[in-house]
Amino acid sequence: MTPAPARSLARRVLTHPLVWAAFLLAGALPLLGTAADFWGFLLSLLAGWAAGHAVVRGLLRLRPTALSVCVHIALSAAGGLMLFAMVQPGEWPIAVPPTVRTALSFGAITLSGWIWLALLSRATAAVQAGSARRAAQLVEPEWRRDSDDWTLRLPVVALRRSTYVAATVILGALAAGAMGVFVFVFADLAQRVGPMAMLLLLGWTVGLPVYLLILVIARARTVDAEVRIGRRGLRVRTADDVTLLDAGLDGIQSLFWSARNAPTRVVIRPTAGAGLVLLAGMARRPRGAAATIPELPRRLVRVLEDAGLGVPSARRPRSSEVTFARAGARTSVDTGVGVRPDSRRSRT
């Protein structure tokens, strides 16, 4: 019988990607330049993928991680230069048979591509891990219960609902106008770059400056607000004791609550008087504070339902959004239609 160490070594050799890359490349060479050259091209691509898999596996085992990332970036750049050199006209510096050159060229495509994809995957994973770590460290505003009232304190940008709707419409019209002007003035360029590149160009040159301007204005208008909801009604006031809205629950036509979807906001439409929009995501907030709104507690949801504010079911809502509307009331596009908050994430 073959000793166990020998079987283990043979298994490692036969399952190593570089060994398969050599086999595939050797199988591709006799097929290239013949009637079966398609299979030679396919084997060359598979050989490059196997070699790339071996390189990536070695990079992931390399320690420390910083050295592994640096070598990975260097190999990605080297792969790009290799592809660039291979597609240049003329002969190679050294004499290489045409079939070998073709096999290496096709193998280099999948070799470099696999290394690039692995680098992109590592970068994406690092960004996601960093975002998740920062999100876990952020402090979210919390509800405080006092008898039958629930109180929430958080920084917001308070706007009349009519102002919020007008600003949304104006920004949408400006975006459409900017795109139309760009297509009309730079028609040739728009046709050459394509729709996706055009959107990216408009986003960086027009959308980003406008967004930064809006963000500066929103930060300047930030106020510390207190939202108090209970059986006696709904009241919103600032830290300076300025009442923004005070109405009984029977005087509320609809209440929209977007806890995590941008822009995180609360939209209140009273039966009489102007509506109120509280933008939390764009407000200036203390360091370490989350740009989210806690979901409505389950018991508070029952209070709203007992007051006649039900959840419409006309459209499928987005996650973390809820709309309460009185029977017969219309819900508008700025509020949307939601579902009941997830009771597992609600605070009582």
Read off the pLDDT of residues 97-142 as tens digits, 9 standing for 90 and up: 777 777 877 888 888 888 888 888 888 877 777 666 665 566 778 8
Identify the H or E element spanning 255.
strand 252-258
Task: Indicate the pLDDT class of residue 96, thresholds 50, 70 and 90.
Answer: low
Residue 304 and residue 157 in one domain: yes
126 belongs to a structural domain: yes
Weakest-pLDDT range from 21-30, 199-208, 262-271, 332-341: 332-341
pLDDT at 31 over 70: yes
Q: Are 326 and 308 in contact (CB under 8 A)?
A: yes
How distant, in Å, are the alpha carbons of 98, 246, 305 from that of 21? 19, 73, 66
Residue 205 and residue 308 in one domain: yes
Residue 113 and residue 178 in one domain: no
pLDDT at 186 over 80: no
Does the bond joining 263 to the residue before it have cis omega, within 30 degrees of 0? Answer: yes
Of 137, 156, 184, the position where a domain reaches its end is 137
Residue 167 and residue 85 in one domain: no
pLDDT at 228 over 80: yes
Task: Find, among 39, 47, 174, the residue nearest to 114 by Cα.
Answer: 47
How distant, in Å, are the alpha carbons of 4, 6, 7, 11, 15 from that of 1? 9, 10, 10, 15, 21
Task: Find, among 268, 330, 285, the residue nearest to 156 by Cα.
Answer: 285
Residue 129 and residue 154 in one domain: no
Give the N- to C-terminal CA distance of the chain in Å, as an integer: 68
Q: Are 278 and 225 in contact (CB under 8 A)?
A: yes
Residue 164 and residue 133 in one domain: no
Sequence-distant (≥ 6) Cβ neighbours of residue 305 within 8 angstroms: 324
Task: Indicate the pLDDT class of residue 21, thresholds 50, 70 and 90.
Answer: confident
The Cα–Cα gap between 280 and 261 comes to 11
The per-residue pLDDT for 342 is 42
Rounded average pLDDT over 311-330: 71
Weakest-pLDDT range from 21-35, 37-51, 188-202, 302-316: 188-202
DSSP 3-state of 42: helix
246 belongs to a structural domain: yes
Task: Indicate the pLDDT class of residue 16, thresholds 50, 70 and 90.
Answer: confident
Tokens of residue 6, six digits:
């020998």
Could you tell me where the DSSP H helices lie in 62-186? 65-86, 98-137, 161-185
Q: Are 297 and 143 in contact (CB under 8 A)?
A: yes
Task: Indicate the pLDDT class of residue 83, thresholds 50, 70 and 90.
Answer: confident
Task: Indicate the pLDDT class of residue 347, thresholds 50, 70 and 90.
Answer: very low
343 belongs to a structural domain: no
Residue at token pair 């085992």: 61
Of 85, 119, 137, the position where a domain reaches its end is 137
338-346 long-range contacts, CB within 8 A, separation 24+: 338/256, 338/257, 338/311, 339/311, 340/301, 340/311, 341/257, 341/259, 341/295, 341/296, 341/298, 341/301, 342/295, 343/298, 345/295, 346/295, 346/296, 346/297, 346/298, 346/301
Tokens of residue 229, six digits:
């909801």
**Coarse DSSP helix, strand, coil percentages of the chain, rounded to the nearest 5 percent:** 50, 20, 30
314 belongs to a structural domain: yes
Weakest-pLDDT range from 3-12, 93-102, 143-152, 181-190: 3-12
pLDDT at 343 over 50: no
Weakest-pLDDT range from 4-8, 75-79, 241-245: 4-8
198 belongs to a structural domain: yes
Residue 132 and residue 161 in one domain: no
The per-residue pLDDT for 197 is 66
336 belongs to a structural domain: no
DSSP-derived secondary structure letter, 289: B
The per-residue pLDDT for 95 is 65
Residue 131 and residue 216 in one domain: no
Tokens of residue 174, six digits:
């400006």
- 238 burial class (0-12, 13-18, 19+ CB within 10 angstroms)? middle
Question: What is the residue range of 210's domain?
Answer: 143-326
Residue 249 and residue 190 in one domain: yes
Residue 112 and residue 184 in one domain: no
Task: Indicate the pLDDT class of residue 90, thresholds 50, 70 and 90.
Answer: low
Residues pairing with 246 in the sheet: 235
Number of structural domains, the chain?
2
The per-residue pLDDT for 346 is 40
Q: Are 156 and 278 in contact (CB under 8 A)?
A: yes
Q: Is the pTM of this model over 0.75?
A: no
338 belongs to a structural domain: no
Of 113, 137, 161, the position where a domain reaches its end is 137
Report the share of the chain in percent with pLDDT over 70.
Answer: 78
Residue 61 and residue 128 in one domain: yes
Q: What angle do CA 131, 134, 136 make, to 5 degrees?
A: 105
Residue 109 and residue 158 in one domain: no
Report the share of the chain in percent with pLDDT over 90.
Answer: 1
The per-residue pLDDT for 339 is 39
